[in-house]
Amino acid sequence: MVFTIMVFEYLLLLFQVVVYKNKMKICCIGAGYVGGPTMAVIALKCPDIEVAVVDISVPRIAAWNSDQLPIYEPGLDGVVKECRGRNLFFSTDVEKHVREADIVFVSVNTPTKTRGLGAGKAADLTYWESAARMIADVSKSDKIVVEKSTVPVKTAEAIEKILTHNSKGIKFQILSNPEFLAEGTAIQDLFNPDRVLIGGRETPEGNKAVQALKEVYAHWVPEERILTTNLWSAELSKLAANAFLAQRISSVNAMSALCEATGADVTQVSYAVGKDTRIGPKFLNASVGFGGSCFQKDILNLVYICECNGLPEVAEYWKQVIKINDYQKNRFVNRVVSSMFNTVSNKKIAILGFAFKKDTGDTRETPAIDVCKGLLGDKARLSIYDPQVTEDQVQRDLSMNKFDWDHPLHLQPMSPTTVKQVSCVWDAYEATKDAHGICILTEWDEFKKLDFKRIYDNMQKPAFVFDGRNIVNADELREIGFIVYSIGKPLDPWLKDMPAVA
Ligand SMILES: NC(=O)c1ccc[n+]([C@@H]2O[C@H](COP(=O)([O-])OP(=O)(O)OC[C@H]3O[C@@H](n4cnc5c(N)ncnc54)[C@H](O)[C@@H]3O)[C@@H](O)[C@H]2O)c1
């Protein structure tokens, strides 16, 4: 009997070793907004694959291994809890996991260059290059290397050169698999993507690598939604998609200025425009401007690539999308200041919302930064409330130089100086108490349900609301007594008398 049990246990162990040995291993370099959620979903949907997410940032990995994940994303907690320790691992042992992996995703920062050739536009590939060199250094077996970061067209070629010139006979296949998830709906987008795009070399080895990655996604993505292209089309498609999305926002925001000047209502105009099936209704909301880590960076990058390829007219066309976005943020600040008797000096302004959109704590390139800086420039006192953004983050954002945010955490400047006229509170009522005006900068659902009568009673008069996301019912607020500015809507008589020049 004992002998039978021992034999059984031995066979079980042997079986586990064989299965474990044959298990495909994926490693993702970069445990950020893309690497973390993407890999968590791959681990959930592919229990037969072992997934390791690695990063040079020790605090970030510690957070992924804790109950307080480093990023807020609806549904992410549940996915991570289900897989972590089973087939999903977070580690700082970058080299070990890269060495063992069959497929290595690279999802590291690709910030805008701040110095040298292409400064202010081109992508800085320092982190990508160092990841590629490390992959070449530590690898002992053939690997598929997947670009997950958004990169300039032809990056794969450069990466290929680094890998092959340092390969010691090991074979690498480079694939481009750009990520289209949107923050705030990342898990939903990953579960049910509009498309998965895989670009590879058009050679037998390249096709084999594309097929291997396709099989990973095929665990849950219908085949017709997995698109395969050549490498350059995949790289450019990501930049193009972001440019088109940002362009829609700038288009409707440009219309919002014209609506205010003519008495048209931008919501009615965009509804009417969006009913045309060739245009469609999505991404047509006027606002204080777009933000987030990608749109501006990717368009700047696109502009740079156009310039390098001798296409100045095309570059100029896309540049305009960013110019309108900056114009919209300036216009908003000017509206606030001009409405309040042309000065906000020493006035308390409540800022409701700091994240670049609802359902995320991400503040990278949020329009709130420029609006707050504009108001601080006019010496306002700001009281900021965002349900997901900490005071420390707000202070860092307001004192950081342009583009510094897009570097690994430990390389970002700490904020030695705190901006004194700024305080952060954990409640919208506290933020608006004794305020002269309110700026709504993020469309958090909870702001729609606030008791504005209570808020009005506790504010200085006249009390102003500047709705940068068109989420409040302006008529109801006017009934209460507020002077209301809603982007792109017919202007309050008060505001008409105080025009703002951008
Ligand atoms: N955030 C988005 O919504 C989104 C969507 C699609 C594509 N992208 C692109 O994906 C890429 C990553 O974006 P993100 O938002 O996840 O960035 P992120 O800053 O949140 O994460 C990047 C991570 O990479 C790590 N890292 C940098 N160099 C490393 C190295 N050599 N070894 C190990 N780790 C390293 C950093 O410490 C950081 O944690 C960017 O190219 C971005 O443009 C982002």
| Number of neighbours of residue 461 by Cβ within 10 angstroms | 10
pLDDT digits (tens, 9 = 90+) for 112-160: 888 888 888 888 889 999 999 999 999 999 999 999 998 888 888 888 8
Q: What are phi and psi of 342, to 5 degrees?
A: 65, 15
Indicate the helix (H) or strand (E) that contains 103.
Answer: strand 103-106
Q: What are phi and psi of 384, to 5 degrees?
A: -110, 135
Map residue 35 onto helix, strand or coil. Answer: helix
What are the domain boundaries of the chain? Answer: 15-221, 263-496
Are 172 and 160 contacting, i.e. CB atoms less than 8 angstroms apart? Answer: yes
Q: Check for a shared fold between 15-221 and 263-496.
A: yes
b or e along 286-322 (b: 16 or more beta carbons within 10 Å of the residue's beta carbon)? bbbbbbbbbbbbbbbbbbbbbbeeeeeeebeebbebb
Q: At the top level of CATH, which class does the domain 15-221 belong to?
A: alpha beta
Map residue 336 onto helix, strand or coil. Answer: helix
Atom 1 of ligand 1, residue of closest alpha carbon? 33
Angle between helices 76-83 and 35-45 (to 10 degrees): 60
d(CA 439, CA 428) in angstroms, rounded, equals 11
Q: Which residues contact ligand 1 via a Cβ below 6 A?
A: 29-35, 55-57, 60, 94, 107-110, 127, 130-131, 149-150, 179, 181, 183, 293-294, 408
Tell me what pLDDT residue 420 has. 86
Are 460 and 435 contacting, i.e. CB atoms less than 8 angstroms apart? Answer: yes
Instruction: Among 3.30.413.10, 3.40.50.720, 3.40.50.1820, 1.10.10.10, name the CATH number for the domain at 263-496.
Output: 3.40.50.720
d(CA 272, CA 208) in angstroms, rounded, equals 47
**pTM of full prediction above 0.85:** yes
d(CA 63, CA 77) in angstroms, rounded, equals 12
Which ligand 1 atom is nearest residue 110's CA?
Answer: 41
Q: How many residues does the chain have?
A: 502
Distance 352 CA to ligand 1 centre (A): 28
Tell me what pLDDT residue 114 has. 84
Which stretches of the chain score pLDDT less than 50? Answer: 13, 15-20
Distance 259 CA to ligand 1 centre (A): 38
Are 94 and 54 contacting, i.e. CB atoms less than 8 angstroms apart? Answer: yes
Q: Among this protein's residues, is 294 annotated catalytic?
A: yes
In order of 125, 162, 304, the CA distances from 156 in angstroms are: 12, 10, 17
| Number of neighbours of residue 122 by Cβ within 10 angstroms | 19
d(CA 281, CA 279) in angstroms, rounded, equals 7
Q: Which DSSP category does 404 fall into?
A: G
Distance 149 CA to ligand 1 centre (A): 7
Q: What are phi and psi of 196, to 5 degrees?
A: -115, 130
Tell me what pLDDT residue 403 has. 74
Tell me what pLDDT residue 17 has. 45
Among 9, 32, 30, 12, CA closest to 20: 12
d(CA 123, CA 153) in angstroms, rounded, equals 11
d(CA 395, CA 400) in angstroms, rounded, equals 8
Distance 34 CA to ligand 1 centre (A): 6
The encoded tokens of residue 379 equal 């010496």
d(CA 232, CA 28) in angstroms, rounded, equals 22
The encoded tokens of residue 499 equal 């025009």
Are 131 and 29 contacting, i.e. CB atoms less than 8 angstroms apart? Answer: yes
